[in-house]
Structure formats: structure tokens, C-alpha cells
Structure 1
């Protein structure tokens, strides 16, 4: 695609916070963004050129999006790959990452099979189509993490199973039924830390960001520390595995590659997101080119930017600290604004719910004088001063 300014129009299926930040990053490039989302006035709407109100699996709406844009992408895995492929063919516009890649990653078992066939290390796993399958996996591995094959995110659809007699209840919790379930059982991994690499595939270019360390609680990402508090050898191995993952995937764009660092220093791939990822939000202030600008460049076939880190960085999610849903109003914002090298990102969601991602705070260490743990703790404390009123 020819690189000119003003540039082309990018169509994005999904208008949540990722679509919002993608539109923010595209605007300085002269790229307009049109989003498709079922929620009127979605978070991306105020910063995008326009919004088409429609479902992620609505072929007519996706077709209208394709007709109005020069390239298609998505910021949510609920996008329908078949409708994307059809709209792309009918309108003559490319879609990246490819619908085939999206289709594979939507199914956790298919994703693991693809990685295994490519020789990429993953935790031991078994397909689960019945209660007996899950019981056999529990007995083989001595306990498993049960995952719904489709539709799970932020810990939804994931249930730990420690004993065979828990199988039926676990399947009902994970996938809604113990009869003909579609699930995956993975052995528990004895890991030192959870890591991630944000990888980018462009038009003949491949780049990776520095390795991040992800801190989770209750299956939800709370903070990301970059560079990760690990050895140089482990970081190099993580980068190498991430590049192998990119080689196994089709299509241009950003991919969030979640990894386990085992107690023996090995790297295993947990999951892949074919889009900008929560663990890459640090790159907005912490890297030369953010993951969002990289995604726009890559999808359009434009040259990629530098992934070099500017400074040690911690990003901390602002989650809904409420017991019941209510209108969203965040207080004590001045605490972040007063802090040097601290940045607040508000996602524009009207309603706050328990543990809903409402924004994030990023702090960079411009002097390079802080230890990573100290930077994490100070960022966490700053984030925790915020509260919903």
C-alpha cells in the first residue's frame, strides 16, 4: 500500500480500549479509523473517525466497514473470521492478521496443535470432549488447568482441577456443560514468572519489543514490568521463542505472546493474542514506537518503527474496585498528574464494574536509577491511590 499523508482509512472490528488507543496512535500518521462495535458510543468512538454500530459477527455490518476502508483489522478475538474473509474478498481490501490466523487462535486446542506442530514449546495438554477425558488428564498430570476452547479471556473459562471427581462440575463452570464439552486440559506449570513479548510482523519485516514481566492476580493482569526481572539468557530465549511463534503465524500486525518462565529457566508459550495486548501498553511512553502505532503500520504494509525501549517502565491496570456496577467516575487523578514521568490512560467506559479494566497508569524511570522492584512498588502505590467515587 502506498505510504502517503493523509493516509488510508483503517477499519477495526472492535471499539473497546484497544480500538481507542489504536485510533489515537493512527491519527498522527494521517490514518483515519472507523470502528465496528455493538455498543453505541463505544470507548473508541470519541477518537475514531466514525463508528458503525453492529455485532462482531454481523456480516452486513462487517461488509459496510470493508466498503468504507482501505484495510481491515480487529482488536477483539470475537470477530468472525468467515465474515472478515468474505468482506475482504467482496470489497477488495486486505485483512490482517489473516482470518485463518484468527480462526486458529480462537480455538485454544487448535492453537496448541499449531504451536506443537511447529516445534514450539508449550505445556503438556490434552483435548477434552467428555468428563472421562478430563478425569484421564487429571490422573495423568496430577491436576490440570481446564480451559474452554473458545470465548475465554481474562481468566474466564479457566478452572483449576485437582481431582478426578471435580471433573463434571469444572466443565460446567468452564464451558457451561459436562455433555459434549469443548475444552482443553493443561498441566500445571511450575513457573518462576509470567513473561510476554509483543511481536510485530510487517511487510517482510519482523520486530519484537523487550521482554515484559506480567504480574497477575485472580487470572487478571495487574502490572507489567519492562525489562522483565529475569536473566539475560532467559530473555534471549523468550525473544527467540517469540520469533518462532511469529514464523508460524500468517498475516501482518501485532501479536501479544504470553509465556511461562519455568523454574528450570525454560520458556513455554501460554497463549497468543493476534492484536495489541494489555502487556504492551507500557510501549506508549516506554518505547520509541508504541504497539498501537506498530499495528497500524503493519496492517497497512508500511515500514515498521523502532521497538527500542526508552527507559525502564511499569504499567499498572486501573480495575473496577467496586462491588456493584455504577457510573464511572475516577477520583484522586491529580496524584498521577503530579508525579513526574507518570501517565494516566482513561478508557472512556461509562460504567465501572467489579474488576473491569477502566484504564492504566504508566511510570517511566527516565534516570535509570530505580531498581525494577522499587519502580513496580511505587507505580502500584500510585495506581492504588486512585478510586471510584
Structure 2
């Protein structure tokens, strides 16, 4: 068993464990809190100042993490023991170099690079691991895209191989929409590390019933899976999630099998025996009950914010423990809610331009079994997820309604 020796709880000592967060949004904020509770010194980096995690970390840095030179200089200055990628716009080649120099990347540099590249990830899942996926093809030009779309059939979905949160994604219903889909993919792609043109993936639009997130934890004790999380998305972004998702036993068994397989596959090819952390495995469930692998994030998942009320150890606590070499077993990922109870989260999305102020916290939290997290992002420019409401209920429907009611009771103004 690999054992990690971390110096913890020594903020003024000469040798505290130093963790560099690359990405300081709401998920990074919770990771920072979990790490600081365990005595880790956290340095939070992002492309803008006053990001949520920077408000709770020991140090804050503003840097373009997709710029290889800037990221290399940051790592040289901070001298971290652990690097934690919390966003996808990162120069992964620098992470590989840092890992080679003895810095631990969570879960590993190779896994981070694979998961942010849809082509590499889908090839691993489908061709190497034999997992069920939607029919797909790749294209590197408009002509190749036209041929791939014809082969897949319409309607189909076109995505850049490197993007997130639905950026650059299109549903194409007929051949005359392929040109626009190619343009949208190029405009929505991640611009660093791809050259002048982004390759795209073309997928058949399947008869989707619902989506699941399987939070899966790799630790020194092996791989374990949390209870399934149901979710609702809008415009490619999470809006609601709940746990446990009410799914048939055969669907749950297949979901767990796929989650185990993809995480174990990633860990096996990581090139390190410390490929530990939380993975958000995204699955499609079709109307006929078929379960398909979609994608995986090598970090806590936005839909997993529900675990802040549903589990004794949230996904952020599990991530912190796993990366520090603490064994995470089945009992650690269990739900911590009464029998015949469900939990839900509801994203608080604010529209406008300016700084968001929250009011009426007393009304929002007046009832037992509810909670809120305000992310404290510095400003809104259009629409932005600025908080999350959490709630328990006698069943999923009641929990979801209570989460929405809690979010609506929290008044928001733009100043």
C-alpha cells in the first residue's frame, strides 16, 4: 500500500504541505475548505481576482493557466507538493513536467489531459474498455464533418473535442445545418493547445430518458462509487440534482459497472500509483433502459454539490482525503440522511450586469432541513451561477421543491 507523508497543520512551519488549486470557482472553494480543515496550505489560482476559492485560501494568484509559460512560472514560484486542476483550460504539458519533477498532480497529469480531450477519452472508453457509448465519429475539417454526419445520421450532435459547459455544441437536424455546426464548434472550442482548427466529435442524438452522475472515488483503498445522482441541465449547465436517483436495480448495477470500469481504466494508464481523487462519471440512460457512458471529469462534479447535505463526507471532503492518501471505503461514501428521505440541490442563477447582493437569508433558512451556499463571485455579466440551495425531503419530488423554494426566498439584487 502506497503511503503519503504529509506535513499538516503547520501554517507557520518550514515544511507544510502546499496545494496549488488551478481554478478557484465554487467547486474549488469547497475543495480549499476541505483541505484547510485537514491542515493543508492552499494557494488558489484563477484568471481573475477575488474568485470564490481565493477568498478562503491562504494565498491567491491571478494567472492565465492555459499559458504554458505563465503556469510554469507560477509553479516555480509556489513550489507546491500537490497541484489540483479544477478547470479544463490548463496547459497540461506543464502539469506533465511538474509531475516528472516530483509534484503530485490530482489525480494525474495524464488523466487530466485525457479527460479534457473528448477524442482521447471516447477512444479509451469505447475502443480500449469496450464501454457502451452513443455511435460517434471524429472530423478535422468541414468536409470530414459532412461525411461523418451523413454516416451517423440526423439528428446528430456536434461538439469540439475540447470544450466545457456546452460551449460550441450544436444539434444538427439536417445536412444544411452542418456548416453552422462547424462554425459554432470552432467558436466555442478551447483555444489553447489545439492549433488553428479544432477537431470535433459527431454523435447520434439518442432517445434519452435521463442523465446520471456517478461520483467515483479512487484512493489508496481502491475504487468506490457513491449513490447515483439525478440531474437536470439547461443550456449545457447543471440546474438541479438529487440523491439518491430513483433508478431500477439493473440500471444501477450497469451504472456502477461503467463507473468502476472507466475510473479503473484511467487509473491503470495514469503512469503513477497515486492517481487518487473524485471522478464525476456522466451517464446517459435511454428510454429502453440502456446505460451509455458519456464523459468523466477528474474532479468533483457540479451536480455533486447535493452531497453537501446528503452525505457525511461531501464530494469535496472525499477529494481532499483521497489525494492526501487517506483510504476511502464504501462506508465513507454512504448517504447520511434518514431512511425514506431524499436530498436535492438547486443552482441559483443570476442575470444582469454588476455585483450580486443576497438578501432575506432569514426567510430562506427559516425551515429545518435546508441550506444555502453563496459563492461570492465578484460580478455577473449576463447570467452566472452564483449560489446553490440545498434541501431534504420525504422523497425526491419534495426535496427538489424545497430546494427551489429556498432559492426563491433568497432575494438577489444587482448593484
TM-score (norm 1): 0.92
Taking the aligned partners of 1:130 and 1:5, their CA distance within structure 2 comes to 51
Between 1:119-128 and 1:8-17, the stretch displaced more is 8-17
Residue 307 of structure 2 corresponds to residue 283 of structure 1: yes
Give the Cα separation in 2 of the matches to 1:177 and 1:107.
14
Maintained 8 Å contact 2:346/2:389: yes
2:161 aligned residue (149, 152, 169)? 149
Q: Counterpart in 1 of 2:260?
A: 243
Matches of 1:34 and 1:283, distance apart in 2? 24
Unaligned runs of 5+ in 2: 10-15, 190-195, 268-274
Q: Distance in 1 between matches of 2:313 and 2:75?
A: 27
From 52, 59, 64, the counterpart of 1:55: 64
Query: In structure 2, do the counterparts of structure 1 residues 211 and 164 end up closer, same or farther at CA, with 3 Å as the change threshold?
Result: same
Equivalent in the alignment of 1:341: 369
| Residue correspondence of structure 1 range 1-389 to structure 2 within 5 A | 1-2=4-5, 5-6=8-9, 8-58=17-67, 59-65=69-75, 67-90=78-101, 92-116=102-126, 117-140=128-151, 141-150=153-162, 152-176=163-187, 181-250=198-267, 251-304=275-328, 306-311=332-337, 312-320=342-350, 322=351, 324-365=352-393, 370-389=394-413
After TM superposition, give the deviation of residue 213 of structure 1 in Å: 0.5
- Change over 3 Å in CA distance of 1:22–1:62 after alignment to 2: farther
Cα deviation, 1:272-324, whole Å, max 9, x if unaligned, reads: 1111110111112211211111111222222226000112210111112x2x3
Q: What's the CA shift string for 1:201-241, capped at 9, x where partnerless?
A: 11242121100111112222110011112212212221111
1:125-150 deviation line (CA, Å, top 9, x unaligned): 11022223333333332221110111
The TM-score, its normalising length taken from structure 2, stands at: 0.86
Query: What is the Cα deviation at residue 169 of structure 1?
Result: 1.3
2: distance between equivalents of 1:232 and 1:106? 31
The answer to whether the Cα contact below 8 Å between 1:36 and 1:65 also exists between their aligned partners in 2 is no
- CA-CA distance at 1:3 after TM superposition: 5.2
Q: Quickly say closer, same or farther: Cα 1:125–1:226, change in 2 above 3 A.
A: same
Contact 1:149-1:184 within 8 A present in 2 as well? yes
Alignment RMSD = 2.1
Q: Is the 8 A contact 1:34 1:52 kept in 2?
A: yes
Cα deviation, 1:132-177, whole Å, max 9, x if unaligned, reads 3333333332221110111x22211111111111111111112239
Q: Distance in 2 between matches of 1:268 and 1:10?
A: 35
d(CA) in 1 for partners of 2:227, 2:34: 20
Deviations 1:303-358 (A, max 9, x none): 226000112210111112x2x32111123333322121111111110112333111
Distance in 2 (CA, whole Å) between partners of 1:95 and 1:177 is 27
| Structure 1 unmatched runs, 5+ | none
